[in-house]
Structure 1
Amino acid sequence: MNILRCKSTDEAAQQAFRLRYKVFAAERGYGAEEKDHEFSSSRDIVDDYAHIYVAIKDGEVIATVRTIYSRDCDFRKVIPGEVAEAWKIEAFLETFPDALAAASQFAILPQYRGSLAAALIMSKIYSDLLDDDIDFLFSICSTYLIEFYSHIGFQVYSPTYADDVGFTTPIISVVRDWRHLEAIKSPTLKQLAKRKLCTGEHPSVAWFHDTYGDKLNAFVSDHTEVTLNKMLALGASPETSDYGQVSIFQSMSAEDITDITAAGKLFNVAAGQHILQTMQQDDEMYVVVEGEVLERRLDGELPSFRLSQGQVLGEVGLFTGTIRSTDFIAVTDVQLASISRQRLERLMKTKPELSCRLLFNLARIQSLKLIRANQDMLALYLNL
């Protein structure tokens, strides 16, 4: 497998744009404004400034990602406002104006997901960042990919937010933070070691930890025994036939809950923030571990109601990946556990009996929601 860095005008980049189309537009259904249907290609103006990375196997581009540097383009113009705000980009531009990079448009063919392709591309990117004197690499990812990016060396320093794709997490790699890379056993550490950079503390690392060190565990965290016990208690609560009062963890053991949630993360969302919103499109589901969430349907035409501990949101997207039709907003500060479609598919292969119980609980939850929706629609019709 070869890893290349090229410009947007190169033939390898054209293959990368076609791969993006296949993954983002055809498979996932978003990025419509960037699609060229005639050539089955997906690109945008940012590619004119970008380094396009491709993994090539047997003459075929199987994975791609791009990076842009702050010294090559104006981040304030090419990065969407909500992303720049999530990244806190202004503080970085003021202090390290020519030492920033942003990565985006990561796409990989389905049959190579879980292979070395992604890791090899990231290793090449990291090597180039060091050679090009880049101090910080920004990106965003879906919640189910945080574990993967964390292993590489990315950290969460800013709140997860809702965008037009889904629940999105800003992440950053502090390129010369060798102590962090060593602690997590990141495969990128060898690039620093090869350059004899695993000593002392680079000014960018000191600045980052002084500025954001207290926020590194504030927004996303791993499951602990405390949260496991909370979810176990939810599953042990008495069953009722009332809407939403069946827990996804109903009648499950601590081991069961660990198997279901182990690959995911816990997310802290501040009161008033959107979690999911109408017209988003993703395939993850979330369990309320703490706090309350408002479900608002049809712009308020149907009654809104609150989800509490043990209830789920986004389960339709888990199965279908279709556009969201409901807004979910944190009423209080909320802690959520994520469950991805990828996790469910793995469970179906490795724990079929547990998967059946999980799916049965979800079916009951959906049935109760359908009954409630039918009642509300009938009441709305009778009042017209």
Structure 2
Amino acid sequence: MNEKQYVLVKLIQKIEIFAGFGPMEVQRLLRICRFKNFAKGEKVYSLGGASDEMLIGLRGAMLVVGADGRELARIGPGKPLGEMGLFTGQPRSADIVAAQTSTALILTRSDLTLMLGGNPEMMAKILENVVGVLSARVEDTNAMVASQSRIIHELEKKLAKYEGPKQDDEDDGLEGDDDEDDYGDVDDDLDDDE
């Protein structure tokens, strides 16, 4: 294995879904990948598009762009894009645009499926890794929701202090109050018209 191949093998081994792959397994994976160059500003993937391949940045950078045109993330070399969609088949959740002249490795679902079909050990490792990645993302989402809930609760407490206590004689518009009804003045006006 030459130095360039060694660097690629180490790079692939750092990607979560390929964790635990030995050098020979990574070399098998690399044989089914293709290299692709992207010009600065070139759209790589489109929001809602098919997730039938993933890429691994080797040089340059990619921008993840939301539906509103906002830049959500900048992905540098060694980072994968589209790896979960490769397994879930879910449509792309954002546009991907080359931030600068970039080179990436492309791995298609069909090539990966063919390779894994003959290697149950590699398939088991990938599936275990995918489950781990998805579990971690769910945990992160749950932690974010819990954090936002705490912030909302604190803001509600501050707002309640700012507004002060409610007056007892204030009409809150709820049925069953001691008021005659919630439409008193309107009903009186209607009676006068008859």
Write out aligned runs for 1:1-384 (5 A).
Answer: 227-235=4-12, 246-299=15-68, 304-372=72-140
SS at match of 1:295: strand
1:332 and 1:251, CA in 2 relative to 1: closer, same or farther beyond 3 A?
farther
1:371 and 1:295, CA in 2 relative to 1: closer, same or farther beyond 3 A?
farther
Q: Kindly provide the amino acid, as one letter, of the partner of residue 305 in structure 1.
A: A
Q: Distance in 2 between matches of 1:236 and 1:252?
A: 6
Higher relative CO (Cα under 8 Å, sequence separation at least 6) belongs to 2
Q: Distance in 1 between matches of 2:127 and 2:36?
A: 23
1:375 and 1:253, CA in 2 relative to 1: closer, same or farther beyond 3 A?
same
Sequence identity percentage: 23
Q: CA deviation at 1:248?
A: 3.7
Q: CA deviation at 1:332?
A: 3.1
Q: Deviations over 1:120-153 (max 9, x none)?
A: xxxxxxxxxxxxxxxxxxxxxxxxxxxxxxxxxx
Cα RMSD of the aligned pairs, angstroms, is 3.4
Q: CA deviation at 1:316?
A: 3.4
Q: Distance in 1 between matches of 2:121 and 2:106?
A: 21
Q: Kindly provide the amino acid, as one letter, of the partner of residue 231 in structure 1.
A: L
Q: Kindly provide the amino acid, as one letter, of the partner of residue 27 in structure 2.
A: T
The two structures have a TM-score, normalised by structure 2, of: 0.60
Q: CA deviation at 1:257?
A: 1.2
CA contact (8 A) 2:51 2:91 kept: yes
SS at match of 1:359: helix
Q: Distance in 2 between matches of 1:231 and 1:251?
A: 15
Q: Distance in 1 between matches of 2:54 and 2:41?
A: 20
The two structures have a TM-score, normalised by structure 1, of: 0.34
Q: Deviations over 1:66-85 (max 9, x none)?
A: xxxxxxxxxxxxxxxxxxxx
Q: Distance in 1 between matches of 2:94 and 2:142?
A: 16
Q: Kindly provide the amino acid, as one letter, of the partner of residue 24 in structure 2.
A: E
Q: Kindly provide the amino acid, as one letter, of the partner of residue 5 in structure 2.
A: L
Q: Distance in 2 between matches of 1:272 and 1:378?
A: 37
SS at match of 1:299: coil
Q: Distance in 1 between matches of 2:34 and 2:60?
A: 17
Q: Kindly provide the amino acid, as one letter, of the partner of residue 57 in structure 2.
A: V
Q: CA deviation at 1:370?
A: 4.2
Q: Deviations over 1:313-365 (max 9, x none)?
A: 11233224332121222223322112222122223321111122233333333
SS at match of 2:84: helix
CA contact (8 A) 2:12 2:26 kept: no
Q: Kindly provide the amino acid, as one letter, of the partner of residue 59 in structure 2.
A: E
Structure 2 residue ranges without an equivalent (≥5): 153-194
Q: CA deviation at 1:312?
A: 1.7
SS at match of 1:304: strand
1:339 and 1:363, CA in 2 relative to 1: closer, same or farther beyond 3 A?
farther
Counterpart in the other structure of 1:97: none
CA contact (8 A) 1:295 1:329 kept: yes
Q: Deviations over 1:171-228 (max 9, x none)?
A: xxxxxxxxxxxxxxxxxxxxxxxxxxxxxxxxxxxxxxxxxxxxxxxxxxxxx95653
Q: CA deviation at 1:371?
A: 4.3
SS at match of 1:365: helix
